Structure 1
Amino acid sequence: MTPETRPEPCDLLIEAGWVVPVEPHGVVLEDHAVAVRDGAIVALLPTREARTRFAAAETVSRPEAALIPGLVNAHTHNPMTLLRGIADDLPLMEWLQGHIWPVEGAVIGPEFVADGIALAIAEMLRGGTTCANENYFFPDVQAAVYKRHGFRARVGLPVIDFPTAWAKSSDEYFDRAGEVHDQWRDDALVATTFAPHAPYTVSDANFERIRMLSDQLDVPVHLHTHETAQEVVESHDKHGQRPIARLDRLGLVNDRLIAVHMTQLTDAEIALCAERGVSVVHCPESNLKLASGFCPVGKLLKAGVNLAIGTDGCASNNDLDMFGETRTAALLAKAVAQDASALDAASALHAATLGGARALGFDASIGSIEPGKQADLVCVDLGQLETQPLHHVISQLIYATGRNQVSDVWIAGRVRLRDRILVDMDPAELVANAKQWRARIAAIRLT
């Protein structure tokens, strides 16, 4: 064998019945393989060619599976897995102020955050999610847990206009935010974003500080906004402006804004978001459950707004199932627009992958299967009876596939789920820990 024909070494070769790269849009490649070296994708090519070109240290063959980019959960509060189901069937403000905040006030701390995120990581991995945009307190603890488990995340640096267990004053929120950002600014897996809670809990002065620091550090701003009609009315009463207009006045409506929920939008506000490059994160199941309203997904897409999908937290959803969330998003968009093509299957998959990556500023490295990007990859078994017969791969992924069909997950080329078995995580231990938190929270609520 001459040097010219000698196979190239690679760490991993994944052979799949179908590869759905997401970019180009709507493409499905049959009998293709992805070669991975040093955590990155080095080639996407027909399986037969891959076997000749590469000498892989490990080959994973999944002839009945679709290989897709890892799903990106673009808005979540993952420590709140430990609050799953404690206050269901309530409107947003009653749910938040009457139940969630009082319980959080009693239990929140580093241990609660670390244990909740570990449980969430396991759930997300088993559902094909490889990246999360986190919004909660104790971001230092969050970042350390995500890093320990090899999970990709943007960790929110919280700002809110009242004392919490994380910080007691505005200055302390910003000082601690700076410390966490500096610690993780060069990490390969974990990055930061500013996470002001919402327009109704953050002052103009603090928004102005966030805008200045976001510009200086090139850090996104991850914000709940236009979530309910009540929020919009109260903003107009207090500030004389709708929330988006107020944010625009403060310089925050730009391509760093990750605007979550956005159920209350005028056509002019949609046009403004498109013009400024705002990303909108749609959380349909949380919005439905809290009766918050309907995000106008069809109008946003027609205007050219980048759309991402998020589950929100387990206290309001009540799961981290991105397959289920994306299906709900696709179906709800059709009903709201009264247009069956409002969010088609390929566009829904884009929102759950590359759209989320773009919202987080990670689209240069994840969100699609392309040489040079990080190998955040998911195998989905389409050979099960629930997804037979297989006429259209992408439609089947969106409208028929359950998260239980995820067989294998890699993040930066490192296997995190193999044949449905979590790698380096003990499900029995996670369940036992969740049960002891249930007992502790139940005892608090009885006092």
Structure 2
Amino acid sequence: MLLLKNATLVNFYPARIVENSDIAIDGDKIIAVGRDLSADYPDAQCKPLYGKLVMPGLVCAHNHFYSGLSRGILAPIPPCPDFISTLKNLWWRLDRALDEESLYYSGLICSLEAIRHGCTAVIDHHASPHFIRGSLAILRRGFIEAGLRGMTCFETTDRNGGLQELEAGVRENIDFARLIDSRRDDSPEERLVECHLGAHAPFTVPDAGLKMLAEAKRETGRGLHIHVAEDRYDVSHSHDKYGMDPIARLEKFDLLDEKTLIAHALWLSADEIALLNRHRACLAHNARSNMNNHVGYNHQLPGYQLAALGTDGIGADMFEELKFACFKHRDAGGPLWPDSFLRMLHNGNILLERNFAQPFGQLAAGYTADLTICDYVSPTPLRAENLAGHFAFGLNSASVHSVIIAGRLVYEDRQFPFEVEPIYARARKAAARLWQNMTEL
């Protein structure tokens, strides 16, 4: 049992600040919150916090851990004048170059860096066309070794091998769901990882692939995680080849429900957004990635009933992502204020609740003990009514002091419980080999 003493409690939604409070944790659950709990739990391990902020864990709602070794990439990349050429010249070459070793270190490094930045959970979307079978188990291994909660899935597509590739991608998703189901009675650490059914995007998944994914959905009970309308091409392709909007195609195959996660969605129609809302699906908004890829801006954010923040592979610093999402929205003339983006940060926990079937996102008895601890010293009063302003203009990942996931201190006093430099050294060697593989494709 762990007792956090003298904390400042921060709830995102509804916004709330409570000073001088304790949190008692038993196993992977919060069992009590209140003042002066030491007498109630005399045998607990006590961690004095001296007023540090304790908040629900930060969730990255859309990421690509396979891109973890692409930072500063030195492989020759042809000019990329548009989004499709960026996919073909960079990302689709990178994912084809991945093997078991490079994927393992990519996933492990991304897990460690997510924790270091205060993230307690990441929803991943994976692709490695030349290493499909067993790839998701490799990513799961990295999540568990780091202590990070997460979800992952394989990016079903036909862009490299047609029907055979589609079948292999769907099979990997199903096999991984079965692996997860087989571990439900294991320790909380073994239960840290869940899954979606992955697909790249409507323009690289023909109807045969959507049919297979629909069958996998019925078989596994999992939801779809897919990019949609990241670029205008996805919409044009759907109209040209199928005579319908991309979201309508997904609904046609019964692929929309409350576990569905749609990434980007910059160019959807009002009818498509209404469809997503009707099915209680979630948008993963990735502001920095959209800016980097020059694909446009999602002016329809206020229309989504449920939207969460993701990074699309640009790390997992959710403090940074919230700032960019907020400031880009203001730059685009949007009506939302920082509190709306703090709500989106909170909504990542709703995604976890829907997929892990346990409560997340509140500092209250019965909730999962995924917590981020920050030593933020503010020069102005910190109140519930200005909490979002502190996130937008003050708090950042440099304030992350400790991270608790499933009741375990996986990052304490800015230190991991194991040596990480050897991991980074091996990752650098794996990255060099990965880049060489890219040059040979």
TM-score for both structures, normalised by structure 2: 0.87
| Cα offsets for 1:193-223 (capped at 9, x unmatched) | 1001110111112212212321342201100
1:308 aligned counterpart, secondary structure: strand
Amino acid of the residue matched to residue 196 of structure 2? T
Alignment match of 2:67 (pick from 62, 66, 80):
80
What is the distance in 2 between the residues matched to 1:337 and 1:42? Answer: 44
1:371/1:284 CA distance change after superposition, 3 Å: same
RMSD, aligned α-carbons: 2.3
Given the alignment of the two structures, is residue 170 of structure 1 paired with residue 193 of structure 2, yes or no?
Answer: no
2:196 aligned counterpart, secondary structure: strand
Alignment match of 1:27 (pick from 1, 9, 16):
16
What is the distance in 1 between the residues matched to 2:267 and 2:401? Answer: 38
| Cα offsets for 1:132-170 (capped at 9, x unmatched) | 111114112111221233221112133111457xx9533
Given the alignment of the two structures, is residue 97 of structure 1 paired with residue 100 of structure 2, yes or no?
Answer: no
1:21/1:297 CA distance change after superposition, 3 Å: farther
Q: How does 1:109-124 map to 2 (within 5 A)?
A: 109-124=99-114
2:227 aligned counterpart, secondary structure: strand
What is the distance in 1 between the residues matched to 2:243 and 2:330? Answer: 34
- Higher mean displacement: 258-267 or 427-436: 427-436
Alignment match of 2:324 (pick from 325, 328, 331):
328
Residue aligning to 2:142: 145
Residue aligning to 1:300: 303
Given the alignment of the two structures, is residue 238 of structure 1 paired with residue 241 of structure 2, yes or no?
Answer: yes
Given the alignment of the two structures, is residue 41 of structure 1 paired with residue 36 of structure 2, yes or no?
Answer: no
| Cα offsets for 1:284-337 (capped at 9, x unmatched) | 100011011222354234xxx111111111xxx3x3211100121222233435
1:320 aligned counterpart, secondary structure: coil
CA contact (8 A) 1:306 1:355 kept: no
Residue aligning to 2:187: none
CA contact (8 A) 1:222 1:257 kept: yes
- Higher mean displacement: 31-40 or 206-215: 206-215
CA contact (8 A) 1:330 1:348 kept: yes
What is the distance in 1 between the residues matched to 2:321 and 2:307? Answer: 13
Shift of 1:343: 4.1
Residue aligning to 1:370: 364
What is the distance in 1 between the residues matched to 2:88 and 2:140? Answer: 27
Alignment match of 2:380 (pick from 382, 385, 389):
389
Residue aligning to 1:4: none
CA contact (8 A) 1:287 1:293 kept: yes
CA contact (8 A) 1:89 1:289 kept: no
Residue aligning to 1:273: 276
| Cα offsets for 1:46-79 (capped at 9, x unmatched) | 3x3x233322522222234211111111111112
What is the distance in 2 between the residues matched to 1:192 and 1:298? Answer: 26
Q: How does 1:124-163 map to 2 (within 5 A)?
A: 124-137=114-127, 138-163=135-160
CA contact (8 A) 2:5 2:49 kept: yes
Amino acid of the residue matched to residue 310 of structure 2? G
What is the distance in 1 between the residues matched to 2:22 and 2:83? Answer: 46
Residue aligning to 2:177: 181
TM-score for both structures, normalised by structure 1: 0.86
1:89/1:26 CA distance change after superposition, 3 Å: farther
Q: How does 1:38-77 map to 2 (within 5 A)?
A: 38-46=27-35, 48=36, 50-77=37-64
Q: Structure 2: 5+ residue runs without aligned partners?
A: 128-134, 185-190
CA contact (8 A) 1:157 1:192 kept: no
Shift of 1:96: 1.1
What is the distance in 2 between the residues matched to 1:445 and 1:78? Answer: 17
Residue aligning to 1:205: 208
1:156/1:434 CA distance change after superposition, 3 Å: same
Shift of 1:265: 2.4
1:377/1:264 CA distance change after superposition, 3 Å: same
What is the distance in 1 between the residues matched to 2:125 and 2:262? Answer: 12
CA contact (8 A) 1:22 1:350 kept: yes
More strand by share: 1
1:136/1:361 CA distance change after superposition, 3 Å: same
Residue aligning to 1:218: 221
1:421 aligned counterpart, secondary structure: coil
What is the distance in 1 between the residues matched to 2:337 and 2:215? Answer: 36
Q: Structure 1: 5+ residue runs without aligned partners?
A: 1-10
What is the distance in 1 between the residues matched to 2:288 and 2:94? Answer: 23
Percent identity at matched positions? 23
